[in-house]
Amino acid sequence: MKDRLKEFVNENREDFDMFEPRPELWQEICTELKVQKALEEKPRKEAKVISINFGERLNFTADFMFMRVAATIVLLLACGITLWMVKQNAPTPTNSLAVATETAGQPSVYQVAPELAEVEVYYTSQINSKREELSEYDLKVLGLDETRQIDNELARLDSSYTRLKNQLQTTPNTDQVMAAMIQNLQIRIEVLNHQLEVLKKIEAIKEQDTTEPKNNETTTI
């Protein structure tokens, strides 16, 4: 059976295509293709495998997830060790002065007596330099073991200083307390100065003792 309609359509096939898509459609297809490409590449990256061959016996494969975990562990270990080292090196609180340690803890004290900060800085630097000077002497060699006594004395002064500092916040008579605090600091310097003088004297005597016999020896020969 002949289909005249079919024949007609075949003859005019081209003319039936009269619609056209919007010209922007290609751009939309392009962006969609890029998005899909990006989505395809993402999982491929994650699945990337590093494989290291040690001969034929040992085959060590590690993917990125493993590497990430390993890196995290290394980082945590490093942090832990650093913290531990810092703690080990940190000066024990008994060695430091209450003057210095209190500064961070109670800022309100400096609101009551603003000049205190300056005073503290001055005296603590003095005390510290004296202490350094003292530490240069080898006390045991010089036959002195009373250093502990001095340390105790200094610690007592330090604790009374802390007490005074606390009082400063509550008492209305700030001038008196301040005076007491400065006196406290001055006493410490005096104690240290006295100790230094004693040590210097002892050293001088010892030097004389060691040089004199030497001179004797040379004269006898």
Partner 1 sequence: MEKGTFQDVNAKVVQRCREGDNRAQYELYKLYSKAMFNVSMRITNDYAESEDVLQEAFISAFKNLHSYKAEASFGSWLKRIVINASVNAVRKRRSELVPLEDRIAGDIPDEEYDDDAEWQVEQVRRAIQRLPDGYRVVLSLYLLEGLDHAEIGDVLGISESTSKSQYSRARKKLLEIMKDTHSMA
Q: Which is nearer to partner 1, 44 or 87 (CB)?
A: 44
HSE-up (13 A, CA, CB side) for residue 189:
15
8 binding partner 1? (CB under 8 A): yes
Question: Which residues ranging from 169 to 198 are in contact with partner 1 (CB under 8 A)?
Answer: none
| Residue 35: C-alpha distances to residues 15, 42, 47 (Å) | 36, 11, 19
User: What is the rounded distance in angstroms from the CA atom of residue 28 to the CA atom of residue 17?
Assistant: 22
Which CB atom, from 33 or from 50, has the smaller least distance to partner 1?
Answer: 33
Cα dihedral value 50, 55, 57, 60, nearest 10: -10
* Cβ at position 42, least distance to partner 1 in Å: 16
Kindly tell me which of 39 and 104 has the beta carbon lying closer to partner 1. 39
Residue with Cβ nearer partner 1 (4 or 148): 4
| Cβ-based nearer residue to partner 1, 28 or 197 | 28
Which residue in this structure is represented by tokens 């494989």? Answer: 51
Number of residues written out for the chain: 221
Between 36 and 53, CB nearer to partner 1:
36
Q: Which of 111, 117, 133 is nearest to 181 (CA)?
A: 117
Distance separating alpha carbons of residues 27 and 33, to the nearest angstrom: 10
Tell me the closest approach of the beta carbon of residue 58 to partner 1, in angstroms: 37
- Report, in Å, the least distance between residue 44 CB and partner 1: 14
Please tell me whether residue 1 binds partner 1 under the rule CB under 8 A: yes
Q: How is residue 82 written in tokens?
A: 């650093």
CA distance 177 to 5: 117
* Candidates 15-23, 46-54, 176-184, 207-215; binding stretch for partner 1 (CB under 8 A): 15-23
Stretch that binds partner 1, among 6-14, 78-86, 92-100, 140-148 (CB under 8 A): 6-14
Considering the complex, what minimum distance in angstroms separates the CB of residue 88 from partner 1?
Answer: 59
Rg of the chain's alpha carbons, rounded to an integer? 43
Of 105, 103, 128, which is closest to residue 116 (Cα–Cα)?
A: 103
- Rounded-to-integer distance, Cα 100 and Cα 133, Å: 19
> Rule CB under 8 A: which of 19-78 touch partner 1?
19-22, 25-26, 28-30, 32-33, 36-37
The residues of the shown chain that bind partner 1, judged by CB under 8 A, are: 1, 3-6, 8-9, 12-13, 15-22, 25-26, 28-30, 32-33, 36-37
